[in-house]
Amino acid sequence: MYAGKLVFAQVMEYAPWHTFRRLVTKYRGDFNVRSFSCLDQFLCMAFAQLTYRESLRDIEACLGAQPAKLYHLGIRGQVSRSALADANEGRDWRIHFEFAQALIGIARRLYAKEPLGVELSETVYALDSTTIDLCLSLFPWAPFRQTKAAVKLHTLLDLRGAIPTFIHISDGKLHDVNVLDLLVTEPGAFYVMDRGYLDFTRLYALHQAGSFFVTRAKSNSQFRRLVSRPVDRSTGLICDQSVELTVFYSHQGYPERLRRIRFKDPETAKTLIFLTNNFALPALTIGALYKSRWQVELFFRWVKQHLRIKRFFGTSENAVKSQVWIAVAVYVLVAIVRKHLDLKFSLHSMLQILSVTPFEKVPLFQLLTEMAPAEPSAANPNQLILL
């Protein structure tokens, strides 16, 4: 019988706790704290993410049912709704933000060699946002509509391994295109975006930074054709052109040439117009890059279904941001475990298994590996033959 650590504690071993302690010291997270530390707060919230808890009362009841095992989970303080609520309200959310960034850095190095689906050695990012609806009376700091509040998660996803490298949490009113001002661009990388990010001044800033972008043109965009390249229409390509903007202010924002590719999707018969500043890649590769943007939509759907970010445990901005960043940290930590153990399971399958076994004492690799069916035991010679 395995007499080692609990499954939850084994998962938490993959986190860089020296970094967490440094961040707690940096932001004075444990200042004037007697019992329930920042580490206790993180472990309780991570436990809630892994086991699909829905409220503070739910967390307290679940952990209170196993008081003898809390020490082995790493929790030293007394778990209560009030202590956890006060921690979410008062402890600086930047502790969990920077800790999640440290985990993201580890995960990106592990997934750097993951196949992309496109013959490309450069890094490819997908940029998009998702909206989480809230009650305006409970979240007045996040206005969205006249009678509704919301927060937006603006996410930059590294398509190698589906690792979020940048997340900005804002109220629902912030337009997506403003997030381009917050990005620290990577020279040589590709940024794939939908039409909501079509701002030629900001795209030109990406171009000047040495980055490439792939997006779609709006129906009212006006161009002047400069050069046309031959295309194979049997592949769905209609044209591949070098163009320049003709509208005065658009041309002022982006004074150089753009590449416009018109493509008819053979599956949906829909015509798409792509814009990019990369003139070297084949036109079909540009189309494939834009198609890969759908991974960020799948990421949002997966996160909303399997992490606790649609129902918040606190109503303040600090509590919401703390919960979101702890959820991101748990997601990335599970991805790190998956890579370290070289598992073939999907993250969804891993979370399903971890959600029902946090208090078990089973080796993590054994738990998350497909086990061969046990051989039937030999018949007992003393068993009477009934039939």
Alpha-carbon gap, residue 217 to 260, rounded angstroms? 8
Tens of pLDDT, residue by residue over 171-204, are 889 999 999 999 988 999 999 999 999 999 999 9
Task: Give the rounded distance of the alpha carbon of 209 from its chain centre.
Answer: 25
DSSP reduced 3-state for 124:
strand
CATH number for the region 194-291 comes to: 3.30.1370
Give dist(CA 29, CA 12) in Å, integer: 20
Q: Measure the CA angle with vertex 10, ends 8 and 11; round to 5°.
A: 65
**DSSP code at position 354:** H
Six-digit token pair at 214?
A: 């792939």
Per-residue pLDDT of the chain (387 residues; tens, 9 = 90+): 455 889 999 999 999 999 999 999 999 999 988 889 999 999 999 999 999 888 999 999 999 998 999 999 999 988 999 999 999 999 999 999 999 999 999 999 998 888 777 778 888 999 999 998 888 888 999 989 888 899 999 999 998 888 898 999 998 899 999 999 999 889 999 999 999 999 999 999 999 999 999 999 988 889 999 999 999 888 889 999 999 999 999 999 999 999 999 998 888 888 999 999 999 999 999 999 999 888 898 888 888 877 777 788 999 999 999 999 999 999 999 999 999 998 887 888 888 888 899 999 989 888 888 533 343 444 444 443 333
Q: In terms of DSSP H, where are the helices of the chain?
A: 7-12, 17-26, 38-51, 56-64, 70-73, 81-90, 94-110, 200-208, 248-253, 283-291, 294-306, 317-340, 347-355, 364-367
- Concatenating the DSSP letter of every residue in 72-105 gives HHT--SPP-HHHHHHHHHHS-THHHHHHHHHHHH
Nearest to 151 by CA among 134, 128, 137, 127: 134
Q: Which of 350, 280, 329, 339 is nearest to 100 (CA)?
A: 329
Q: Could you tell me the residue ranges of all domains in the chain?
A: 7-96+313-367, 194-291
At 46, which amino acid appears? A
Q: Supply 44's token pair.
A: 């309780």
The CA distance from 356 to 378, in Å, is 32
SS3 160: coil
Residue type, 330: V
CA distance 198 to 216: 8
Q: How many CA atoms lie within 13 A of 36 on its CB side?
A: 18
pLDDT tens digit sequence for 71-118: 999 999 889 999 999 999 999 999 999 999 999 999 999 988 887 777
State how far the Cα of 377 lies from the Cα of 387, in Å rounded to an integer: 20
DSSP 8-state class, residue 378: P
